[in-house]
Structure formats: C-alpha cells, structure tokens
Amino acid sequence: MTFFPDRSPVRAVAKPQLLALLFALGATAMLTAHAQTNTAANYPNKPIRMIVPFTPGGSTDILARSIGQELSKAWGQSVVIENVPGAGGSIGADKVAKAAGDGYTLLMGHIGTLAVNPSLYPKLPYNPVTDFAPVAWVARVPNVLVVHPSVPAKSVQELVALSKSRPGQLNYGSGGNGSAANLATEYFNLQTGSSFLHIPYRGTGPAVTDLLGGQIQLVFTGAPAVLAQVKNGQLRALAVSSPKRIDALPDVPTVAESGYKGFEADQWYGVVAPAATPPDIVRKLNSQINLALTSAELKNRLNNEGAVATPSTPEVFGQLITREIARWKPVISSGRVKVD
C-alpha cells in the first residue's frame, strides 16, 4: 500500500476553508442581489426633486407639475418642482448632471436642453448623451403660432405678407436666446422668408404676458403655454407646427396646410436623471411615468393642453435625443439662432 502522509492533513484543513470561502461568496452574492433589489424596492423613501430649467408658467413647467402630481399620488412621496432658469435651460440641466445619481434629482428636459443646446453653446457644461440616463419620453408638444388681436393677420399667408411689407417691424418673443420657441420661429423665418425681430425673455411665461399686453406681436411656442388664452379670445392662433392638427385646436391649420409643405417643428419633453442613477430605479420611474401617461385622466389633461403623451422605453427616448441633436444642428448653423 502506498502511503501519502501529507494528503489527509491537507484535506482536513482545506475542506473547512473551502466551505467557509464558498459560504462567504454566496452570502456576498445574496447581499449584493438583495441590495440591488432593495434599491428599487425601497425607492422612493423621501421627497424627489424635479428641476425645471425655466421659469414657471411655460410648457416644461406645466408638464413637470402634471407628472410630479401623478408620481406623488402613486408613491406617497412629494415631488418638489424647482425652477432653475438661465442660459436656455443649461444652468438647470447642468445642476442635475452633477447631482447624486440616487434617483432623487430629476430633470424635466426638452428639445432645447437635450438636443438644441449642444449646437448653440460651444462650452456647454454638460453632455446630454453621456451625462444623463434617459428615463421617460413624456410628451410631444406642437408649437402654436399666436398673435396679439391687434395684428391684422388672420392666416399664416397674411402674416408672412405683413412681415415682408414691414421688414423688422414685427416682434416675436421667446423664452430666451436659443430656446425652443426661438428655434421654431427662426425656422419659420427661413422657410417663409419672414423677418420677425426676436425679443428674448427669461422664460415663456414673461413672453406670453408681454404678448397679452401688446408689447410684442407674436409668439410661436408650446401649446400648453398659450392654449387658455387662445380659447378665451385673448390671442389668435394662426397655425400649429405639427404634421397634423391637434385635438385641442381642431380648427387651427398646420403650417404645412398653410402653404409650407413639410414644415414641422414640434417640441418634445422627457425626464432624465444623472448618468450614475441605478438602472433598476430608472426602470421603476419609467414604468410609473408610462402608467400615468396611459391613464385616461392624464391623457385627457395633456390633450386639453395641446400635448400628446408618448410613453416608451428609456432606450427609445435615448435614441430620440441622439437623433434630434443631429437633426437640429444644420438648422442652427444655417439659421439665425444665436445665444448671448
């Protein structure tokens, strides 16, 4: 019989060590999985802050408050809306980009902050593709071209003719240089040969206020910001920017119907979070926001405000952002859209 004096002692020592190691590894894996599960399971356990990078009263603010209200009802936690205006939405967006990726700081982003600003600001402090985790595409919002009742134009054709007869004498307002309304109106100028003079404001709300007062002649901005004033007769709507008419203003034609085929300049809005936000929290937010968007109550509310709900996956929203950055870059470079 061959005898190996050192084999048994080695086995005697190695077996309990191996078992202990396997147990430790298993326990670690279980704890990790449990922690990952609890990340979403326990979320949210405190108030959520949603930053709106513009002043109160505009389309971004209106949509943020609608979504925040639905999340609060579903989860029993407050969603605090914080307005951080400035630099075409860049200041508020950058604040979210640099926030902790824990799901408690969100941005109601839109076409300007996420797709237009990269072409407008050479030193943009954030990258909309790499610094954010796309959460949910909330809505598509057609722009509505509205004029003060004193403007003697009842159609797009008449407005264009008026502009050409009075070059540089008709003023339009927007939420600021480089804002979505600024972009849409300059795109309209290029497509129609008009020459409306831009008056930038610190937000859509102040621009609409001055339009109501007659200090400026027109605004081409998101429907939610001007719909009430159109319906009560304070402003006259001449056209919408979408390919089709909107339910909220069925009698108002599209710009394309008004003689400028192919014209489209809708705004869109969506929620993003800091890039480091855990994927399970992103999925939970996406699921709850989509659930809210498919509810009859919110869909009706959005329709009444001229917005169209767009529930989708975070991946689809991320693809939209990338696609729109490429789409608007040549418009900005060839147009008259500038920032201070």
At the fourth CATH level, which superfamily is domain 143-240? Answer: Periplasmic binding protein-like II (3.40.190.10)
Q: Which residue has the tokens 């020459």?
A: 195
Class of the 48-141+268-334 domain? alpha beta
**What's the rounded Cα separation, in Å, for the pair 329 and 340?**
18
Q: Which residue would you say has higher pLDDT here, 179 or 296?
A: 296
At 31, the pLDDT band (50, 70, 90 cuts) reads: very low
Residue 292 banded pLDDT, cuts 50, 70, 90: very high
pLDDT at 1 over 50: no
Q: Of all residues in the chain, what percent carry a pLDDT higher than 70?
A: 87
Amino acid at 220: F
> Residue 10: pLDDT above 50?
no
Does an H or E element contain 300, and which?
A: helix 296-304
Q: Give the 3-state DSSP-derived string for 25-46, with helices as H, strands as E and coil as C.
A: HHHHHHHHHHHHHHHHHCCCCC
In the predicted model, is pLDDT for residue 233 greater than 70?
yes
- Rg for the chain (alpha carbons), in Å? 26
Q: Would you say 107 and 113 are in contact if contact means Cβ atoms under 8 Å apart?
A: yes
Of residues 267 and 170, the one with the higher pLDDT is 170
Which residue intervals of the chain bear CATH 3.40.190.10? Answer: 143-240
pLDDT band at 335 (very low <50, low <70, confident <90, very high): low
Question: How sure is the predictor about 102, in pLDDT bands with cuts at 50, 70 and 90?
Answer: very high
User: Among 57-61, 87-91, 217-221, 301-305, whose mean pLDDT is lowest?
Assistant: 301-305
pLDDT in tens, 43-64: 999 999 999 999 898 778 988 9
pLDDT score at 183 = 86
| pLDDT, tens digit, 9 for 90 and up, residues 117-142 | 999 888 999 999 999 999 999 998 89
- Residue 253 DSSP class: P
Q: What pLDDT does residue 4 have?
A: 40
- Report pLDDT for 219: 98
* SS3 annotation, 200-228: ECCCHHHHHHHHHCCCCCEEEEEHHHHHH
Region 214-232 average pLDDT: 94
The residue ranking higher by pLDDT, 303 or 95, is 95
Q: For residue 80, what pLDDT band results from cuts at 50, 70 and 90? A: very high
* pLDDT reported for residue 46: 97
* Region(s) of the chain under CATH 3.40.190.150: 48-141+268-334
Count Cβ neighbours within 10 Å for each residue of 167-203 and write b for 16 or more, e otherwise. eeebbbbbbbbbbbbbbbbbbbbeebebebebbbbeb
